[in-house]
Amino acid sequence: MKIKRHSAAFAVLAAGALVLAGCGSDQNTPQGGGNQALEGLQVECGTKPVSGEGSSAQKNAVDVFARDYGLKCQGQNVNYTKSGSGKGVAAFTAGQIDFGGSDSPLKEEKGEVAKAAERCKGNPAWNLPMVFGPVAVAYNVDGVKDLTLNADVIAKIYQGQIKKWDDPAIKALNPNAQLPSTDIVPFFRSDESGTTENFQKYLATATGGAWTGEGKNFQGGPGVGQGREGSDQVSQSVKATPGAITYVEWSFAKNLQLGQAKIDSGAGPVELTTENVGKAIDGAKIEGEGHDLRVDLKSIYGNKEAGVYPLVLNTYEIVCSKGYDPETAKAVKAFLTVAANADPQQLQEAGYVPLPEGFKTKVTEAINAIS
């Protein structure tokens, strides 16, 4: 089915506007204003606004969700604050918001699981992976429009073991490329970053442990590379620096028209496309039990099948399985249902990929089970 682009800008509809009765009825519900995935979608809209806080990595996706939610449930709005995953989890467990946005699932060792269950009136909280954003390996190498790298080479670049673009290891992956004898200038995030955390998890998994750095602070080789704060700064630095390379969310690489390396996990070069990222998501294993859909990232980062682009950041909406008041439960379920069916074109333009059908089925079953 062809998706028509809607002309409206992303907006969160004003609170207090008229709430249409019977929002779940096709006769009374606006039909998505161009997002045909919303046509015929049955949701029961609540009467309360939905509030969330947390991960900045998913903020632009939540804007897409909120726009579609306002179209499906007229008069209803979503208030989301991008304050970082830690603050989002804290606000959720304190009962200040309806859902928390987080770059990682609730951690039992930090007491987050127990605190969330207490907030949910003795019921478990669920981690629902609603947002997937590819991470591009962006580069600026004069005359090189088609570049293939693998995890081992990327790791060695950031460890300081590969320093020139015409290094034999890079040549072996690009036998037909005219690689210059130019210094490689790696850039990395100097601030704490969920993108850094996932990039390092990918390198550790895909290199079989040869990369040992972990966490939200980048841990490359001593003195290797230059740190920049935020995704905008690292991408702008690559744009301005011949020979540069970095890891950055897809939208930044696209907006600046940076080169994006294909990744070879052993079955040939794979380009960063919605389809190839979707294959990675579809192949993901779930660690959680029941409707707690914690993703086993190693099953994505270590996926060596042909056509899979494995470097993906996923974020969660953390919700109560039970424990909301009836109207809040309706609103949260309606919002999440719309989010799972958000406009694919708008998501892609914002740098994300829509949930593949098989994975969306798991998420939708979990949403329907909220009570």
Q: Mean per-residue pLDDT for 93-105?
A: 96
Among the four given CATH numbers 3.40.190.10, 3.40.50.720, 3.40.50.140, 3.30.1370.140, the one describing domain 134-276 = 3.40.190.10
Higher-confidence position of 37 and 367: 367
Retrieve residue 220's tokens: 């490359």
d(CA 131, CA 360) in angstroms, rounded, equals 11
* CATH fold of the domain at 32-133+286-296+314-369: D-Maltodextrin-Binding Protein; domain 2 (3.40.190)
Percent of the chain with pLDDT over 90: 83
Q: At 22, is the secondary structure helix, strand, or coil?
A: coil
Domain(s) of CATH 3.40.190.10: residues in the chain: 32-133+286-296+314-369, 134-276
What's the CA dihedral at 32, 350, 61, 74 to 10 degrees?
Answer: -20
pLDDT at 18 over 60: no
Taking only the tens place, the pLDDT of each residue in 279-291 is 999 999 999 999 9
According to DSSP, residue 138 is labeled E
The mean per-residue pLDDT over the stretch 7-11 comes to 35
Alpha carbon distance 35, 261 (integer Å): 31
Q: Please, which pLDDT band fits residue 34 given cuts at 50, 70 and 90?
A: low
The residue count for the chain: 371
For residue 334, what are the contacts with CB-CB under 8 A and spacing of at least 6? 23, 43, 44, 45, 46, 69, 72, 73, 76
Distances (CA, A) of 165 to 244, 264, 266: 10, 17, 21
| Confidence tier at 39 by pLDDT (50, 70, 90) | confident
CB neighbours of 168 closer than 8 A, spacing ≥ 6?
none
Q: What is the pLDDT of residue 193?
A: 86
